[in-house]
Structure 1
């Protein structure tokens, strides 16, 4: 969407691997945004990143950067345990925080961020870029109009593979830093997309285990879910699957819609099957003229700017992201308590509002034991 305003001023905190995707996405939006500053606790890495992406200011002090720059949007690309504190600092500096998933490590931290939003009037947005691919946007539109009929059944699978060596990085596989295993750090993208299509969930029954990896967290979880609209779903999050894939399937009254990809999708990764007697829906599915672009960071970042240009609220809001994080917390609570968990049940000082493990992990914490 064309804009006549000056480019939005953007900064990045954390210059590790995922930050490169953010910087590349910003560079693909010339005239819309300018990356004016970066910060990383490793000054050499910050300088190298700034040189690579032609960023005029680099710092090893995020707070100093926030105080010295006039910023519209700050991308937080640091390890998960730092997200909440940095997002609060960004809001108090008068900018919007765009935070890599997970937004925070607990529901309590999410509620603390909501209090800072109320205090400052600034916002926290969460990176769930797969919501913004053209086919996902089209699917949500068809669901809203009722064209596909009632949602009945869904499957959501993040079947990935991470070797033992993957967890040699000190902050990986630790509850206090990542917040959890594949449920929090990997599958969350797929079940967030599922939630964006099916709406509020009402109950979860789950299992989680550490079957093979040298980690404190789970390496697999499986959940059965009931949605408020009556649909039933299964959700699997795994780091033990040599043939990697990410799969979603939605069975509606009048059509099945399927997606299979790995880390991002295009139109070719979707499949639409109309029920007998509803062939016209296949034409409706292919009637869009949206550009066929990878479901990457650029689409969500561009959507933020489009919303600002037109005076709308951009996604994914803190309230919306909290629903997804509550889904993860309920998965853990159900698994570790061996009990069904309903939406809204985790509240107050419930241990699973304070941390994803709820103090109830049924296995030895390997890294703590070796420390």
Structure 2
């Protein structure tokens, strides 16, 4: 039996999020978890023991020097992602940074420059691209029958929470930590944004909302609504993609409906297998790694994608350029204040 080749991986950051969403995916991906690193040694050692890493470190440079790593995943925060990713790439490692990749476009561009200089991959953790229903939607809108994406609407809301990396909740930290997921996703479907006009609302202490009108360079248009007004206990994602008489709707990550230019109702109308709507939802009674919540949400897919790209030597997507585009859109929506802003780059 030929043993599967696995990426020798190190991870920087052993907090609650990677322990809940990323480390559990490693055994289903071509990954050998060699070592972990965290400023809190006890937390690093606890994570290493839980997920089978041989060693735990407090200093990432020591981990890079002592271990024979091929790649590193960085799950810390946008203020320190640039320095850690640059250290990793200059140490000869391919790198993944969890979103958001950086606080500013300039920091992102510095990361991209070092990626080119060192010829090392730099992936960004936008896991929604790999969610089951969102992947299906992407394939549908790229099919000839869809006729091209003309318009999209997107709603992404949440309850009140403070991003771990920011220490306080502000309109900007909310957009950068929460809304950036869908600000990447819409560009995954429609391409780069040409201009945006957005308006902020405030609903009390630490409650924010943004409504934005966008035009993409492709000619498509979009409406985006993001806020933290709603409860975290209710469905809070809705995406609608419109083509020529066809519409794809993804509700709350897990339910997809495809309206296929169905004929109007008339007397005696029967089911039209070629044009009536299709729906998809997971069968949660089926026991399979592909039916796991972390798979449907996209975490398993993004982990596998990064590892497989490193093994094949092919650049992963989404990459730091996608991260820069999302950070640029965050800043534009935050700064618009009701005025159209053209996005450069």
TM-score interval for Structure 1 and Structure 2 normalised by the shorter chain:
0.7 to 0.9
What is the alpha-carbon distance in structure 2 between the residues aligned to residue 116 and residue 206 of structure 1? 33
| Match of residue 26 from structure 2 | 26
Q: Which residue of 1 aligns with 2:317?
A: 315
Q: TM-score, normalised by structure 2?
A: 0.85
2:285 match: none
Alignment gaps of 5+ in structure 1: 348-371
> What does residue 286 of structure 2 align with?
none
207, 220, 239: which one aligns with 1:248: 239
The correspondence for 2:203, drawn from 173, 195, 211, is 211
Partner secondary structure for residue 183 of structure 2: helix
Aligned equivalents of 1:221, 1:12: Cα separation in 2? 34
Q: Deviations over 1:245-270 (max 9, x none)?
A: 11111122131111111xxx34xx11
| Larger deviation, residues 15-24 vs 128-137 | 128-137
The 2-side partners of 1:174 and 1:28 are apart by 35
Q: Distance in 2 between matches of 1:208 and 1:146?
A: 38
Partner of 1:368: none
Residues 1:171 and 2:166 are matched in the alignment: yes
Name the residue aligned to 2:214.
Answer: 225
TM-score, scaled relative to structure 1? 0.79
Report the Cα distance in structure 1 between the residues aligned to 2:94 and 2:273, rounded to whole angstroms: 45
Aligned positions, number: 322
Q: Distance in 2 between matches of 1:38 and 1:210?
A: 40
Which residue of 1 is the match for residue 287 of structure 2?
none
Whether contact under 8 Å (2:14, 2:37) holds in the other structure is yes
Point out which structure has higher relative CO (alpha carbons under 8 A, 6+ apart).
2
Shift of 1:219: 2.7
Counterpart residue number, 1:236: 225
Q: Superposed, which structure 2 residues align to 1:329-340 within 5 Å? A: 329-335=331-337, 338-340=338-340
Give, in whole Å, the separation in 1 of the partners of 2:120 and 2:334.
31
RMSD between aligned alpha carbons? 2.6
Q: Structure 2 regions of 5+ residues with no counterpart?
A: 264-271, 281-289
Matched residue of 1:294: which SS? helix
Task: Report the alpha carbon displacement of residue 230 of structure 1 after superposing the two structures with TM.
Answer: 2.4
